[in-house]
Structure 1
Amino acid sequence: MSRTFTPKVVTGNALVEGDAVWLTEDDRWSRHMSEAELIEDEAHAQLRLLFAQSQPGQVVGAYLAEARAGRSGPEPVHFREAFRTRGPSNYPHGKQADSATNF
């Protein structure tokens, strides 16, 4: 018996800066998960992942991450993805300084 597909977002890390990024519906890479395309179809998710992996000059380590619809866009399901939305853990500025993104 196959598992039911759960909604996903495409994520990876920006090649130069290393920041976590998410693929938007209009093929941009955003540093905000809330702007990501929430994908609810498994075949479409695989196509979007292939698209992401075809951009080695922009993004590395692209993968599908579980997500759910939130008030402002996709939200993380797992701790790892919630942690990634906050940015590097060794900087007291940027995403971590913005209390609105702390989970």
Structure 2
Amino acid sequence: MMKVLTANRLGDGIAVWLDANGRWLEQIDHALIARHDDAVAALEIAGKSAFNKNVVVDVALIDVEEIDGEIYPVRLRERIRAAGPTVRADLGKQAEFRPASAA
């Protein structure tokens, strides 16, 4: 299964995803996708390093799927984190970009 590395930025708690350049992005769209065991191991190392440097907290590898070239977390919890608050669709990430499908 494909995986991406997610965390919460320490400064403001925003959900972020690691990209191929080692940057933590607020959108999952450009997250680095690990497609094999070596890539998963590299993401784990990158996550531990960022945590140890006090850049992010709650570091986790999550399962994702690619649908029509777009990345979607498999679990509902992670889809909500990627889209933003569920109480108001006019606020958060879903107001700025396409909404992530929860089903």
| TM-score, structure 1 normalization | 0.81
Comparing 86-95 with 29-38, greater Cα deviation is found at: 86-95
**Contact 1:8-1:45 at 8 Å conserved across structures:** yes
Q: RMSD across aligned C-alpha pairs, in angstroms? A: 2.0
Corresponding residue number in structure 2 for 1:61:
58
**Contact 1:53-1:59 at 8 Å conserved across structures:** no
| TM-score, structure 2 normalization | 0.81
1:34-79 Cα offsets, whole Å, 9 max, x none, are 1101110122212212112211321111111001123344221111
Total equivalences in the alignment: 98
Paired AA for residue 93 in structure 1: L
Corresponding residue number in structure 1 for 2:71:
74
Offset at residue 89 of structure 1 (A): 4.7
List structure 1 runs of 4+ shifted beyond 3 angstroms.
70-73, 88-92
- Matched-pair identity in %: 29
1:14-50 Cα offsets, whole Å, 9 max, x none, are 1111111100011110111111011101222122121
Q: Give the direction of change, closer, same or farther, for the CA distance of 1:88–1:14 in structure 2 (3 Å limit).
A: farther
Unaligned segments of structure 1, at least 5 residues: 1-5
